[in-house]
């Protein structure tokens, strides 16, 4: 890849978007995403390479309309829940407090949901180990049926069998505990969402 194509790949707008650009629509899209006004500078750089000038007035008109969508309480909650950064400063002053309030509530849910992931991961890892242990336990059972096993080999297999069985039982107990914790946390999230009217 050449340096020029690499730079073009990072441009905020494509050549077609610059040439056919409806600056009010571009501003609206940026506003809906909560992008700062200096995003227009990025567009100006991208379009200058194609000999196209931006339309500041049309862009800002579209952006201000798009910000109304961005600053809606439901969107603020979703941004917080997704763990994204907020841009409350972009919102009209009369919408900032509500936006921030809902963003923080979404962030609270994000935090609660993020605590589920390690539990889910450990439960899954334990289940995989139980399956591996079961497979090896079955293999050992088959080996123990052999009549030509030496006493030492038989004892080694029995020791491994018992160790794997103990480990499997411990994993199952651990999973039962973690599953209860997981279910409790999930229920708390559902209750909190209900309190938030979500």
Convert the pLDDT of each residue in 12-23 to its tens digit.
Answer: 788 888 888 799
Q: Distance between CA 8 and CA 149 in Å, rounded?
A: 70
- What is the pLDDT, as a whole number, of residue 49? 87
Instruction: Please state whether the predicted TM-score (pTM) of the whole model is above 0.85.
Output: no
- What is the pLDDT, as a whole number, of residue 106? 97
3-state secondary structure of 72: coil
- What is the pLDDT, as a whole number, of residue 9? 40
Q: Which of 138, 136, 133 is nearest to 175 (CA)?
A: 133
Q: Distance between CA 125 and CA 132 in Å, rounded?
A: 11
| CB within 8 Å of 97: residues ≥ 6 apart | none
For residues 3 and 11, the model is more confident at 11
For residue 1, is pLDDT > 70?
no
- What is the pLDDT, as a whole number, of residue 11? 66
Q: Is there a contact between 90 and 60 (Cβ–Cβ < 8 Å)? A: no
Report pLDDT digits (tens) over 83-128. 999 888 889 999 999 999 999 999 999 999 999 999 999 999 999 9
Q: Summarize the confidence of residues 60-87 as an average pLDDT.
A: 94
- What is the pLDDT, as a whole number, of residue 105? 97
For residue 145, is pLDDT > 50?
yes
Q: Summarize the confidence of residues 125-151 as an average pLDDT.
A: 95
Cα radius of gyration (the chain): 29
Residue 96 token pair: 């900032």
- What is the pLDDT, as a whole number, of residue 21? 79
In three state form, how does the secondary structure of the chain look? CCHHHHHHHCCCCCHHHHHCCCHHHHHHHHHHCCCCCCHHHHHHHHHHCCCCCCCHHHHHHHHHHHHHHHCCHHHHHHHHHCCCCCCHHHCCHHHHHHHHHHHHHHHHHHHHHHCHHHHHHHHHHHHHHHHHHHHHHHHHHHHHCCCCCCHHHHHHHHHHHHHHHHHHHHHHHHHHHHHHHHHHHHHHHHHHHHHCCC
The domain ranges of the chain are 12-70, 73-105, 115-195
Measured in whole angstroms, the distance separating CA 67 from the mean position of its chain's CA atoms is 24
- What is the pLDDT, as a whole number, of residue 8? 37
């Amino acid at each position: 890849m050449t340096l020029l194509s690499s730079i073009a790949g990072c441009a905020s707008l494509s050549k077609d978007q610059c040439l056919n650009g409806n600056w009010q629509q571009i501003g609206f899209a940026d506003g809906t995403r909560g992008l700062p006004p200096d995003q227009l500078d990025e567009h100006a750089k991208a379009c200058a390479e194609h000999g196209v000038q931006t339309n500041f007035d049309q862009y800002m008109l579209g952006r201000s309309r798009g910000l109304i969508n961005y600053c809606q309480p439901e969107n603020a909650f979703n941004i917080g829940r997704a763990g994204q950064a907020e841009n409350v400063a972009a919102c009209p002053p009369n919408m900032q407090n509500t936006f921030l309030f809902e963003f923080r509530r979404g962030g609270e849910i994000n935090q609660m949901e993020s605590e589920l992931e390690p539990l889910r991961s450990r439960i899954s890892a334990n289940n995989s180990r139980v399956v591996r242990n079961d497979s090896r336990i079955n293999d050992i059972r088959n080996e123990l049926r052999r009549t030509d096993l030496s006493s030492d080999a038989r004892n080694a297999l029995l020791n491994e069998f018992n160790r794997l069985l103990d480990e499997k039982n411990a994993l199952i107990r651990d999973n039962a505990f973690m599953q209860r914790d997981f279910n409790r946390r999930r229920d708390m999230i559902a209750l909190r969402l209900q309190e938030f009217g979500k």
